Amino acid sequence: MAQNVHGGQNRWYIRLIFRGKYAIIQERKMITVDENRNSNISSEHSEELLNIIENFRLMDDTFMSKVFEDKACAELLLRVILNRDDLTVVRVVSQFELKNLQGRSARLDIYAVDEHGKQYDVEVQRSDDGAAPRRARYNSSLLDANLLNPGDKFDELPESYIIFITEHDVLKGGKPLYTVNRTISELDHAIFTDGSHIIYVNGEIRNGTALGELMQDFFCKDPREMHYKVLSDRAGYFKKDKEGVDTMCKLMEDYADKRARKAAEIAANEKSISIALKLWNNGIRDLQQIAELTDLPLEMVKELFKDKIA
């Protein structure tokens, strides 16, 4: 079942028996899971990859990032969580990377901006550790640090929201949603109006409210069973439309290649470090020579032996 953003008019998908398989009537041609097996998709991508896509939920960040890079989906998400029907998203980017002055980066699952310039970072976290309070603090500070240019006044800093959608009730209060704002202790905990907000959405509560139904959709594998039509259509595109399935497969293949290259780089680096240590233990103290023999950057070699030459 799929419904509009405000939960009003319900719209049912129609099922037809077609050569023993179910087909979904929508504006575009859809393909079924069984057809995936027999179509040219299966000749291009492995069975294992197709099974992974079938079982994706919005709680899986790879799938969530593709679904919510669509403005309509991101807008629905923020409207429901913030209980605001007037919110309009003007920009949305998935897997948005931010860096601090030390070069440490954070990759935001979904970064969005509304028509008033308010900034949103939406993260899905299946692990409780990934939604730790200090992680929320870090993301908030990193977002702030990248929002002002030299010469800008501090009152130009836009309002920001860090939103964690968690698989478990991380804050253990049994609430569907937790809103975290700074307060002033000596003023009866009056809100400190710095424009910074942190929100935790508890994925364990999947009741009949607008937020509860959104959480049901986040844990749903079959797009036909989602409550919100805009999410159902988008998820269905990546799970059952050939073009969408191809996009997901390419994304996952690229991600696997990237991880493999990273693992190879780490392994090669570890081997070079091991050789550098052996050279040092064999009496070679010329750091430039060690760097040349191991193909390690000279700065890394200096860091490696800084305690030995101090």
Residue of 214, 212, 250 whose CA lies nearest to 230: 214
Q: What's the pTM value of the predicted model, to 2 decimals?
A: 0.70
Highest mean pLDDT among 37-51, 136-150, 194-208: 194-208
179 vs 189: CA distance, rounded Å = 14
Residues contacting residue 271 through CB under 8 Å, at least 6 positions apart: none
pLDDT for the residue 153: 92
Output the pLDDT for position 27: 36
**Span 41-45, mean pLDDT?**
48
Residue 43's pLDDT is 46
Q: pLDDT tens digits for 93-148?
A: 998 888 776 667 788 999 999 999 999 999 999 888 889 999 999 999 999 988 88
Give the relative orientation of helices 229-240 and 47-55 as an angle to the nearest 10 degrees: 170
Task: Quickly state the pLDDT bin for 247 (edges 50, 70, 90).
Answer: confident
